[in-house]
Amino acid sequence: MPELPEVETMRRGLLPIVGSTIALVEFPAIPYRPIVVYPSRESLADRVSGQTITAVDRIAKRVLVRLTSGDSIVMQPKMAGIAMLSDPPSEEHVRVVFHLGRATERQASPAQFLYWDRRGLGTVCLWTPDEEATHLGPDKLGPDALLVDAKSFASRFRDCKKAVKVALLDQTLVAGIGNLYAAEILFAAKVSPEARCCDLPKSKWRLIFEHSQRILLKAIENEGSTLSDGTYRNAINGEGSYQNHHLVYDREGEPCTRCKGTIVRIVQAQRSTFYCPKCQG
C-alpha cells in the first residue's frame, strides 16, 4: 500500500541516520517467504559495512540511503513494507537490520535502521549509480508527482486512451501516485475514474493536477494513511492520520460527503476503485 506520502514519511523519519556509519548488517532468520535482496546478502553486507550515510532520498515509492561509496541502499516497500528506525510492528517480520555507529562522539544518532515487511513482497537492493539510473531513470519512471509542473503533467496523460484512474497508476507517466490517492484525487476533481484520458478537457487536467498536489502534500503533513489492517506505520511505529480525511477510499456503500449519493466500488486493472457515480459521472 505505501504510496508517495507514506514513503516520503519514511524518508523523513530516517533523516537522523545521516552522518552515521554502518557497522553491521543483520538478516534475521524468520519462517516466512524471503524478500528479494540484491546483490547477495553477503555481498550487500560486505559492501555497505564501514560506509557513512550521506543522505536519505526518495524516488517515487522507494527510499534511498546514500553512501560515501556512491552506492545507495534502495528499499521498495511495495504492499506492506516499512523502512523505519525502531519498534517494528512485529519482530518476526523484520527482514534487514543495519546497525549503526555514531559519526562523532558528541553526536547522538540512532543505533540502527531496518526494513520490515509482513508480506515479503518488498525489496532491498544495493545499487551503483549506473544501476540506479537503469532501474529508476526516465526510461523507467515518469517525473515525480510532486516535482512535475502542471503543463508537463497534463501533456503526459492527455493523449492516453486508458481510463484516467488506471493511467494515474502508471509510474512511467507520473511516479508516486497509487491506488488510494488516485481515487481521492479524482473525487476531488469530480472526474469519473472510467473516463478516458484523451476525452478530458484541459480544465479537468488542471483540476486533477491541482488536487494531486494538494492531497499528496496534505497526506505527507499527516504522515500518510494507516488503514484498517494497521500495516503502514511511520519510522518509529506511529500511525499516520490521513485516513481520517479519506472521502471515497474504502467507503463503499457510505453516503457521499458532497452530494449524498452512494460511494461504490468497481475493479479497474485488478485494483479496487471507489467513487461517487452521482457527482463524478
Per the structure block, which three cell numbers stand in for 255?
A: 453516503
Report, as residue numbers or ranges, the catalytic residues. Answer: 2-3, 61, 271
CATH of 150-246, one of 1.10.3720.10, 1.10.8.50, 3.30.479.30, 1.10.510.10: 1.10.8.50
Domain boundaries, the chain: 4-136, 150-246
- What is the Cα 174 distance to its own chain's centre? 13
What contacts 217, CB < 8 A, 6 or more positions away? 146
What percent of the chain is modeled with pLDDT above 90? 89
Give the per-residue pLDDT at 76.
98
Dist CA 264 CA 183 (whole Å): 12
Give the per-residue pLDDT at 267.
97
Give the per-residue pLDDT at 228.
75
Give the tens place of pLDDT for each residue, 80-89. 999 999 999 9
CATH of 4-136, one of 3.40.50.2020, 3.40.1370.10, 3.40.1390.30, 3.20.190.10: 3.20.190.10
Give the tens place of pLDDT for each residue, 106-152. 456 799 999 999 999 999 999 999 999 999 999 999 999 999 999 99
Q: List the one residue out of 84, 69, 46, 78 whose CA is nearest residue 240.
A: 84
Residue 63 pLDDT more than 90?
A: yes
Q: List the one residue out of 164, 153, 136, 148 whose CA is nearest residue 58.
A: 136
Per the structure block, which three cell numbers stand in for 130?
A: 549506473
Give the tens place of pLDDT for each residue, 160-178. 999 999 999 999 999 999 9
Give the per-residue pLDDT at 232.
86
The answer to whether the pTM exceeds 0.85 is: yes
What contacts 28, CB < 8 A, 6 or more positions away? 91, 94, 95, 97
Dist CA 7 CA 172 (whole Å): 18
